[in-house]
Amino acid sequence: MTNKPIALRRWVLPGALLAVVAGSSLWWALTPQADSVDAAATHNEAPEKTEQHSGSTNPGAAPVNAPNASVAESRTPESLGPNPFAPSLQGTDIDGALQADENGQLIVNLEVRDFFDYFLSTVGEVSPETAIGQIQQMARQHLPESAAQQALALLDQYLDYKQASLAVMQTELDPARQHEPAYQLSALGNALAQLKGLRQQTFTPEAHQAFFGMEEAYSEYTLATLAIQQRTDLTDQGKQALVEWHRNQLPDTLKTTEQRLESSAQQHQERVLAVESATSPEAAGQRLTELGLDRQSVDGVVSYLQQQEAFQTRFESFRKDLQSSVATGLVDEEQQQHQEQLLQQHFQNEQEQTWARLKLLDQS
């Protein structure tokens, strides 16, 4: 059973602001980020349109079928088999697919973009010609001629877009202002607007929506929420109301996901507060149980808190003994040896001894 890689869906902004703070260029801020596809994102900039287009004979945009199009009669396979053309693809399923409907027309959806990105992510490991050639071969072998030509025409457009988008992604920030939240937000908004305009110029409205609609909706939602948080004329309740209003404008799939994340974050905060405000490990366990945490997790938290409580008691005893020894007039070397002896006496394992040393340094 092969492992399907994380789909190269592009949610641009969740980590983008931190990326801007960390550097002086918008490249990493605008490069689509996903937890497990760093290598793929690095390779995505490589395909250049010069002498690397798909060679399609139809330069026009591929027709786009409605989401409820009939089940495809033909599609590309789910795997490249045991010996893929690039070692990094070993043991993976192909991300996305090219599909034709019952009329032999290409079904254009986000899976097409994922399919292109799956192969283009290998550039650097293999040549651009090799990666693009694999897409050509798959389209021509597994799709009707009309659908194959439409797929390769769309690939040409996608390569054009990837090349043109590099200029936007490499826009430099003003070094004097790059740490200003308002400037960061403005720079991100301007860059995303440029990307959106470039997409509109490159693709038909249907292909633009299929490839980037969900990403742009989430990016614009995130920009709006960041702008709301920077407002000084709103109360926390007002900010929350506006964020919820923007969330409700998201497509249903994204809205459901965002609501689930929001609920999870709130639940997490409640649990953290329960631990911080508890008067004892047992009280923390009781409150966590009331908040719906499972018994095994509650027991683990209580046990950990009890261990921390016992450690703190031993540390206070250790610190008092150490302070008493300071008055005995021991020289530095003798004092250090005595401190190590006390550590051995009060703490039975190396990990606790390390924690005690660190805590002692914090209090010095």
Q: What is the pLDDT along the chain (364 residues), one digit of tens a residue?
A: 445 443 333 433 333 333 333 333 443 333 333 333 333 333 344 444 434 455 554 434 444 443 333 334 699 999 999 999 999 999 999 999 999 999 999 999 999 999 999 999 999 999 999 999 999 999 999 999 999 999 999 999 999 999 999 888 887 888 888 888 888 888 888 889 999 999 999 999 999 999 999 999 888 888 988 999 998 888 988 888 888 888 888 888 887 877 777 777 778 888 888 888 888 999 999 989 988 889 998 898 899 899 888 888 988 888 888 877 665 666 667 777 888 888 888 888 888 888 888 888 776 5
User: CA 294, CA 299: separation in Å to the nearest integer?
Assistant: 9
Amino acid residing at 274: A
User: CA 210, CA 69: separation in Å to the nearest integer?
Assistant: 14
Question: Which pLDDT does position 34 carry in this prediction?
Answer: 36
Helix, strand, coil tally for the chain in percent (to 5): 65, 5, 35
- Tokens found for residue 265: 């974050």
Q: In what order do the strands lie in the sheet with 74-75?
A: 74-75, 99-100, 106-107
Q: Which residues have CB under 8 Å from 140's CB, separation 6+?
A: 148
The residue with tokens 């194959």 is 148
User: Roughly how many angstroms between the first and final C-alpha of the chain, as a whole number?
Assistant: 56
User: CA 112, CA 283: separation in Å to the nearest integer?
Assistant: 53
Question: Which pLDDT does position 333 carry in this prediction?
Answer: 74
User: CA 61, CA 343: separation in Å to the nearest integer?
Assistant: 73
- CB 128, CB 52: distance < 8 Å: yes
Amino acid residing at 197: G
How many other CB atoms sit within 10 Å of the CB of residue 315? 18
User: CA 12, CA 23: separation in Å to the nearest integer?
Assistant: 16
- CB 230, CB 204: distance < 8 Å: no
- Tokens found for residue 81: 């088999």
User: CA 343, CA 350: separation in Å to the nearest integer?
Assistant: 9
Q: Is the pTM of this model over 0.75?
A: no
Side-chain half-sphere CA neighbours of 230 within 13 A? 13
Q: Which residues have CB under 8 Å from 3's CB, separation 6+?
A: 91, 92, 93
Question: Which pLDDT does position 55 carry in this prediction?
Answer: 52
Query: In sequence order, what are the beta bridge partners of 126?
Result: 123
User: CA 352, CA 343: separation in Å to the nearest integer?
Assistant: 9
Q: Which residues have CB under 8 Å from 161's CB, separation 6+?
A: 198, 199, 202, 203
Question: Which pLDDT does position 86 carry in this prediction?
Answer: 95
Secondary structure (3-state) at 275: helix
